Each structure stands twice: as structure tokens, then as C-alpha cells.
Structure 1
Amino acid sequence: MTESFEQLWADLAAIGKDPSTGGYHRGGWTPTEREATGWFLDQCAQRGLAVESDGIGNLVAWWEPGASQGAGLPGVVTGSHLDSVIDGGAFDGPLGVVSALSAVDRLRAEGFVPSVPIGVGAFVEEEGSRFGMPCLGSRIATGVLTPEKALALEDRAGVSLYDALSRAEVDPSRVGLSSLLSRMGTFVELHVEQGRALTAPVGVASSIWPHGRFRFTFTGEANHAGTTLMEDRHDPMLTYAMTALAANKQARLAGARATFGRLAVEPNGTNAVPSQVTAWLDARAASAEVLESLLAAITRQATERAERDGTTVEMVPESVSPVVDFQPGLRDRLSAVLGDAPVLPTGAGHDAGVFSDAGIPTAMLFVRNPTGVSHSPAEHAEMDDCLAGVEALATVLKELAR
């Protein structure tokens, strides 16, 4: 006996929630993320779905077709991720996983028999909140990120991905081994919309903006906060502060997005002029040309300010994702089968973008977000819209698996 969407949602929503903020902490391979993964595996077992895992821990649970000749063939995979940003919202990722399970339940209850396998996927470390690499699991599965580079990544506590996997009882020597893509004929990801552009309950994605994460290192000279004259200082915090303001202005002028959301200061003392400030910029734009121009303008202004401050600045790209234009034929087909659902772009990155770049026919469905807030405890979607998303996903799966 399968549970309703509401019950599934309530069960998963209890895992990793901070009672003081209402936000979620499910970093990759942490105890709470592992607990959520265990919940997913239990749900798959209850449905008799055969779970396939690759070396990094991506999971796909298969509902095989009724016709024996269709078993084992490439199928339709849907799903999302279970990890979260630091103090994130409940819907980003998990909504796609719970909706996938519920859509399969709905199709089975209707007596639908797929002609090709239908897979329910849960992909690891999509947010990159622990190891700084977004869509880590899908990048490794598609070969975009090599096992050597992946295993050398470190979290903020200095724990390497190699060690984190070992502690989570995942064999690091198997990272990079994956057969999941060989069976992924089509991928459809349902996700909460992360802005206010969608006014209908459900929409279809047209594209993902190009985006990336860029590390700025500002280096100066540590000194005493009380005795060092203002004119004698080489303060990298000033260079950083001007750069953050420049990023805000340049993004507004370009109609783009630029955010310094993470900062590390050395020696990080209240009464000391810093010796170094490391800041991470998240930048996104509607085109690669606009993104490149935005980064050039920010870096130029940072360098000019550093010269005045007697500091230095270095910018290193940590991850860059090109624009993703989802296949118009598949996109328009899904919009039509959903009654001409609205089609809209997104500035947020997703595993769907990585799979699309790997040549897999890919589409995304969005569920309305009434406030537009995301990556925050205030992230929200109405239950009626979530249920509309399940119905839409079931309709799409039926269309693609006939």
C-alpha cells in the first residue's frame, strides 16, 4: 500500500530540518543526507523498484515495463536531488523526488503499463553546498568531472571527498564507474520554480542561463587595528567591499545576477587588519557574452581598486556551466500535452542541464513558487500546486513511456 503525496512529503520533510530556523542541512554524505537517502531506498523497496547505483552514489530505481522485450532498454528517468544548501528550503530538490514516486504510484493505480522502463532518480550533491562543486554527482556520471579532481575536493573543515565517501561507507575506488546513462533515454526533472516568473501551477523550462562560481582572493598586509594609521594600511577587506559593490552595480546594468555569498577572512580577528580575504562570486546571465562581459567588468574594477589599496587580487573560476537550451521538440511536446503550459527560462542550475549537455533528451517541469523565495527556509509551494505537479509529471511520463 503506497502512501499519499502528502504523507510522503511529511515523512521526508522531517529529515534534516533545523528546529530553530526551519531551514534544512543536508550536505552531501552527511548523516542527515544519508538518512534522506535511506528513506528513498525504503520507499523504492516498498514499491518493488530495482535500485541501481553508480560509484559516487547516484541512484535510479526502475519500474520495468510489462512487455518482456522492453525490459533493460533505455527508459524515461525522472527525479531530482535530496541534498540542500546550508539552511535551505524544503522544496528545492526533494519536491522532484517525492513527485516522481507519487507519479509512478498514480500510473500504477490507473493500470498504465509502460512500454519502456521508468526510472526514479536521486542524484548526489547537486547543490555543491559541502564540496563547492554544483551538480557533483551528475558531472561525475557524465564524465565532465574526473574522479581524480572530484576526490581531491575538500569541504570547509578540510575533509576530502575521498574521506567523506569512506566515512559514509561508499567505496572511493568506484567513483567514475557508472552505467546509469546507458539506460537514460530521456530525463525529466520536476523542480520548484525559484523565482516569480511562473503564474500558472505548472510550467516547462526553455533554457538554463549560463552561470558559474568564481573565487576572488584579495591579499594585503595584516596589522594592528588600533595603532595602524588609515593611510598606512593595505587592507584587502576594502578591496573586497568595493568589488562586492561593483558586482551589484554591473549585474544591475547588465540585467544579470552577481552575488558574493561566501567569505573567508584571515586572520579573522576583531582587532586586526586582515591579511587575506577570499570571496566566492556566483554570477549568472542570459547569455555567455553577457556573463563574460560582467566578469570582465567586475575583475577590472577589483584590480583598479587593489592598486589604490596596495593589495592584490586573483580571480579563479571554480565551476562554469554553459547555457542550456532544452530541445525545442521535446519541450513543445510536453507543453502541448499539458494543455499549452507556459514555457520559461531559469537562472538556476540543475542536474537536468548537465544531462542535456551530455546529449540526453532532457526537459524540466516547474511548480509555481508564490513568493519567488528559494535557498531559504521561506521557500514555499502550495500543496494544490504540488499535486498539480504530480499530475503533470504522470501525464508526461505516460506520454514518453507509451
Structure 2
Amino acid sequence: MHTTTAEQTAALPGRSADRVRILIERFAALTEPGKGPGITRLAYSPLERSAHAEFTAYMEELGLQVSTDAAGNTIAELPGSDPRLPALGTGSHLDSVPNGGAFDGIAGVVAAMEVARTLVGQPIPTRHTIRFVAFAAEEGARFGQACTGSRIVAGLTGPKDLPGLMDGDGVSVADAMRAINIDPQGISDAVWDENDWAGFIELHIEQGSVLTDAGLPVGVVDLISGSTRIRIDITGRASHTGGTPMHLRADALAASAQIVLAAEGLAKDSRHHGTRITVGKLDVHPGSITTIPGHCQLHVDVRDVDNDRQRFSTSELIAAAHEIAAHRGVGISVEVLADASPVVLPVTIRNAITASAASLGLEYRVMPSGASHDTQMINHVCPGGMIFVPSRNHGVSHSPDELTDFEDLAVGIELLTASLVHLDASSPSTSDN
């Protein structure tokens, strides 16, 4: 006989916002010194491994079994009462963008740690094994590709892909892995078996202001937008700024500036409602005030909730860039760095979250996510769901100004716990099969 979801939820102890704050601040302290404001803890760096070590120590202190897989993801496991049932999971990532905030990804890992703390203390164990995951290398800021750790476990990135993913210093993912004692040739061993997983829920900050503006405590994600990332290289002719007349110039930066404006215009066109195009990085060479720029490199991120429009927008931008380059007499090359399709999250997990929110008396909004997340990749393995908690400061994220109230996080963690308990209690037992 199973304990009902309502009974198990009612038995859960209240969350401590102070405990959440201490954990957030502990991870925030792990940042590269002298790198400016905010938090810099890049993918596949020693600091990222230090954060994973913090997660490991906490979970082992709770008595959980903890392991690090071949991709650098750390997984803590709380055995269920029925080992024949597939596992339920929760978690997020511990790396950051350069000069990022304290909550992106970390909030979801801290939430997993708090859920573990609660479930370990329950007198009646869950039927399903619960796994708590700290993914590696979710941010694409260093290597261009987002969600590398979760892409690996989903079988979407393999050993042959890693040497071609490079950072700005020419270090590949494979090189970075070797530097922290991870064998890039062994990552196939990290791939998850879909028969071993029943579902996954990730808690994350919204990274927008919808919830705050509406005065709502939580969001339930139904759709995660896709992202196509490209690099555009413009080659002009470096020359003296005083000696070269305006009509004889092949200015790589002027052409790049026109491409940036073309990208903005394309995304604002009524045919592309919902498209978001960003040139987030622009490198100019030789970088001298008295030299006309001879080479520019643009890193472009095209996002959309519509799969066809995402690819069509990217193709339109590339065509516009070629036309601009031809008109200005500069060379151009384009490389696709990464591509991920939008994902509609399964209604089964979403219904478990909304039912749990109702049982807790929480108002919620079903909403899309404009950002990429590990759940987007895990959904290729098992049904995935996401809970958003409000972002303050006008929803600013990937910035030192990123802010979420610890009390809001505590509410989200309560909902995450209740949702996992709901899934555990409502799934068919092995005796029903």
C-alpha cells in the first residue's frame, strides 16, 4: 500500500531560506580571482571541479552514494525501496559564464541538495531511486556549445566532436578535459540508458521578469527554445587610418557593424516574431586606433521556439552577411558552432508539477523558456520538466546583477520536492506490470 502524495507532501519539513543562502554563497566563493565582478567559473576548469567537489562532500555527508561519470557529471544516488523501478532525477549545473551571477544553474544544484536533505530524513523511502545530478559544462560561453555534459549523457555529443569545440585561446574541450584528468575518449561510457530513468525535473531561475511582473511564485515550463550558434569571420584590409582614403578602404569592422544591425533588424521583423538574435562577442584585429580593422570575428546566437523559423532566420542572416561582405569588398566565412532544436516538454511531468503546486496552494504560470537548459538534452533520454523561480532586477541574468530571493528559492524547492514525491507515488508499481 502506497502513502498518498498529499500525505507525503504534508510530511515534508519547511525549507530554510538561510540554509539555501549559505549554500549559494559557498558556491559563489569559487570564482577566478582578479577577473572582475561577478562569478567566473568556466566549463571544464579546475574551479568547476572544485564546485563539484563541494557538491560531492555535501551529498556524501548525507549518506548518499556519489560518483563522477566519464563526462565529469557528478551523480548522487538515494536508493528507493523497489530497485526494479527506473530512477527519478533532479539537478542542474555548476559552471558559469565569465562575470556571471550566483544563481544560474547553481540554484538548481542547491535545490537538489535540499531535496536530498529532506528525503534522506523521511521515515518511508521513495519507491524509485532518486538521483541528484550536477552537470558539467552547461554554459556555452567557453566552447560555443551549450549543455555539453548533458548532451554527452543523452548521446548527442561523442568523442569525435570534442576536438573541434575550441575556446578563445585555442583550447579544445578534449584538451580541457585532459587537463582536469578526464579522458575525452571515454565519454561514451557516460551515456544514460533510457530504461534506467523514469523522469527528470530541473529547478532554475527564470532569467526574465515574467514571474516578478505578474507577482507569481513559480513557473512551469512547457517549451524550451532552440539555439543555433555561428561564427562569422570578416577579412578586410588593415591599413593606415590617415593614409587610406575612405573610398579605398576594406574595413572589416564597418562590415561587421552592418551585419550586427542586419541581425537586429531581422529579429525585429514581423515575420520573425519570437526570434532573438544576439552578437554576443566581436573581436577586432589588429585592434589599434590608427589602423583600419583588417579582421573581425562575430559570435552570433540565434534563438527561437519554432524549429523551422530558427533555421530560416539563421539562413537569412548568413545570406545578408554575404551580401554585405560582397558590397563592401571584404571576405567572409561562416561556421556553425552548435545547434539545438526547440523542445516541447512532456505533459506528464508538467501535470505532476502543476498538481503539486495546487496541493501546496501555489499560483503558477505555464510558460516557455528562452534559454537553453540541461533538461532540453535529458528529454531525449526520459520525460523532463522544469520549474522556474522568479528573477529580480528586471530579470537580468549572466551578469553580476543576477538576483533571486532566497525565500523564492525555498518555495521552488518545496514544489520540486513535492513534484518528485508525486511522480514517485503516482507511477505504476512493478507488480502492476
Measured against the shorter chain, the TM-score band is over 0.9
Matched, 1:258 2:277: yes
Matched residues, number = 397
- Flag the 1:289–1:165 CA change in 2: closer, same or farther, 3 A: closer
- The answer as to whether partners of 2:352 and 2:419 remain within 8 angstroms in 1 is no
Q: Which residue of 2 aligns with 1:323?
A: 342
SS in structure 2 at match of 1:259: strand
Distance 1:276 1:126, change over 3 A: same
Q: Aligned-pair distance for 1:181?
A: 4.1
Q: Deviations over 1:298-345 (max 9, x none)?
A: 223322221221113232221111110001232123212211632100
Q: What SS does the corresponding residue of 2:332 show, helix, strand or coil?
A: strand
Alignment of 1:2-401 (within 5 A): 4-16=19-31, 21-65=36-80, 67=81, 70-71=82-83, 73-182=85-194, 183-198=196-211, 199=214, 200-253=216-269, 254-255=272-273, 256-339=275-358, 341-356=364-379, 358-370=380-392, 371-401=394-424
Q: Deviations over 1:340-399 (max 9, x none)?
A: 63210011001100111x141100010111321111111111111011011111101111
Amino acid at match of 1:88: G
Are 2:24 and 2:102, in contact at CA under 8 Å, matched by a contact in 1?
A: no
Residues in 2 aligned to 1:232 and 1:12: alpha-carbon distance in whole angstroms = 54
Equivalent residues of 2:207, 2:395 under 8 A apart: yes
Hey, what's the Cα distance between the residues in 2 that align with 1:184 and 1:60? 13
**CA–CA distance in structure 1, aligned partners of residues 247 and 277 of structure 2:** 31
> 3-state DSSP class of the match of 2:121?
helix
CA shift for structure 1 position 277: 1.0
TM-score where L is the length of structure 2: 0.87
User: Given that residues 101 and 120 in structure 1 are in contact (C-alpha distance below 8 angstroms), is that contact kept between their aligned partners in structure 2?
Assistant: yes
Which is worse superposed, 78-87 or 293-302?
293-302
Give SS of 1:207's match. Answer: strand
Q: Shift of the alpha carbon at 1:173?
A: 3.2
User: Residues 214-239 of structure 1: CA distance to partner in whole angstroms, max 9, x if unpaired?
Assistant: 11111222222221111101112111
Deviations 1:251-290 (A, max 9, x none): 1222321110112223333322222211011111231232
Structure 1 unmatched ranges of 5 or more: none
Aligned to 2:429: none
CA distance in 2, matches of 1:169, 1:20: 25
Asked whether the equivalents of residues 225 and 368 of structure 2 are also in contact (C-alpha less than 8 Å), the reply is yes
Residue 56 of structure 1: how far off its partner (Å): 1.4
How far is the alpha carbon of 1:88 from its aligned partner?
0.7
Structure 1-normalised TM-score?
0.93
Q: 1:394 to 1:315 in 2, by over 3 A?
A: same
Query: Quick one: distance in 2 between partners of 1:101 and 1:60?
Result: 11
CA 1:36–1:109: 2 relative to 1, 3 Å: same
Aligned match of 2:4: none
Identity fraction in percent: 33
> Offset at 1:38?
1.1
Gap change, CA 1:231 and 1:375, over 3 Å in 2: same
The answer (yes or no) to whether the contact 1:52–1:180 under 8 Å persists in 2 is no
What secondary structure, in the 3-state scheme, does the structure 2 residue paired with 1:265 have?
A: strand
Q: Distance in 2 between matches of 1:106 and 1:6?
A: 17
Query: Is the CA contact 1:18–1:24 (under 8 Å) kept in the aligned structure 2?
Result: no
Partner AA of 1:113 in structure 2: P
Structure 2 alignment gaps of length 5 or more: 1-15, 426-433
**RMSD of aligned C-alpha atoms?**
2.0
Shift of 1:17: 6.7
Q: In structure 2, how many angstroms separate the alpha carbons of the residues matched to 1:266 and 1:242?
A: 17
